[in-house]
Amino acid sequence: MSDLNFSLSLPRKQRQPRENDPLPHTIAERTRRVYDAIAHVYPLSTYFFHRKAHAYTLKNSGIRNGDLVLEIAIGSGEMFRKLVEINQDGTTIGLDLAPNMAAYSQRRIRREWPEAAAHCGAVDVRNLPFADASFDAIVCCYLVELLSHDDIYKTLAEAQRVLRPGGRFSLILIRQDTPIFSFMYRMGAAMIRAFWGRLVEEEVPEMIGQSGMKIIDDHSLRQGYYPSRVLICEHAAEPAMAQADHSLTVAARK
Ligand SMILES: C[S@@+](CC[C@H](N)C(=O)[O-])C[C@H]1O[C@@H](n2cnc3c(N)ncnc32)[C@H](O)[C@@H]1O
């Protein structure tokens, strides 16, 4: 190594560390195991809790038939099937950390839409294996509760990176302004953190602003007692601030 090799650290963006965060680090391995184990029964959960928010998101996602669409954290593929249905002439890609979830979703799609260009894969979406500006639209439902704060920033920055300028990023969060629901959620989460994560809805809008996307629609709804918040965001065509957080190693060679 030459003496001219040195590490250049860009100034860290001011992030408010969250006090007493019950999920200071993403526990991906445990989350993968839990969701892998329940892939076959998970559609019920979507049916009872997520259906309404999915429908609102789909309507406002800006997706047009023929687009290149990405859904991250597809679970058992309920939203993914709707995306494929409206994008019959395009390509729809769905990713999930849990291989059983990805495989289950892929099988259903092959049965229902054998001709569709629809592909599911087991990928940890904190790093997206795609080139910059690849997608016309990205959808993400009920994932960020399972990620640490740093990983939420990272995942938002990745979504912004692979979304084309002007494209839409649609995000669904679990709302936290319903005291009884929030209390029950906290109880469940304390027992199975890897399944429930924790509530982060109130902090995410600011994180989105820092990622280089801007919120163009903010809608709250309930399905039974289950409260959701849908944020429709647009790529603001500016570099993601979160990326400035990474250290660069500059290797100057003679
Ligand atoms: C609460 S479920 C939501 C599933 C689906 N999006 C829905 O709306 O019903 C969360 C999903 O995120 C997946 N997941 C968690 N962490 C992930 C990660 N780092 N990368 C990709 N998927 C992840 C889990 O495997 C699980 O399927």
In a domain, 215, yes or no: yes
* 124 CA distance to ligand 1 middle (Å): 9
Residue 253 has a pLDDT of 32
Burial class (CB in 10 A: 0-12, 13-18, 19+), 183: exposed
Residue 17 has a pLDDT of 57
In a domain, 229, yes or no: yes
Residue among 23, 26, 27, 31 whose CB has most ligand 1 atoms within 8 A, to mutate: 31
> SS3 of 42, please?
helix
Residue nearest to atom 9 of ligand 1 (CA): 46
Q: Domain tally for the chain? A: 1
In a domain, 13, yes or no: no
- Residues 32 and 97 sit within 8 Å (Cβ to Cβ): yes
In a domain, 241, yes or no: yes
Cβ-proximal residues to 102 (8 Å cutoff; 6+ apart), any chain? 74, 94, 95, 96, 120, 121, 122, 123
Containing domain of residue 132, as a range?
Answer: 28-251
In a domain, 15, yes or no: no
* 44 CA distance to ligand 1 middle (Å): 15
* 73 CA distance to ligand 1 middle (Å): 4
* 188 CA distance to ligand 1 middle (Å): 17
Residue nearest to atom 20 of ligand 1 (CA): 124
> SS3 of 130, please?
coil
User: For position 190, which CATH number holds?
Assistant: 3.40.50.150
Q: Is the pTM of this model over 0.85?
A: yes
Q: Which residues partner with 222 through β-bridges? A: 227
Cβ-proximal residues to 43 (8 Å cutoff; 6+ apart), any chain? 76, 78
In a domain, 5, yes or no: no
In a domain, 9, yes or no: no
In a domain, 187, yes or no: yes
* 147 CA distance to ligand 1 middle (Å): 10
Per-position pLDDT tens, the chain of length 254: 344 443 444 444 545 557 789 999 999 999 999 999 999 999 999 999 999 999 999 999 999 999 999 999 999 999 999 999 999 999 999 999 999 999 999 999 999 999 999 999 999 999 999 999 999 999 999 999 999 999 999 999 999 999 999 999 999 999 998 999 999 999 999 999 999 999 999 999 999 999 999 999 999 999 999 999 999 999 987 554 444 443 333 233 33
Ligand 1 binding site (Cβ under 6 Å of any ligand atom) = 28, 31, 35, 46, 50, 73-75, 78-79, 95-98, 101, 124-126, 141-143, 146
Residue 18 has a pLDDT of 72
Atom of ligand 1 nearest to the CA of 71: 6
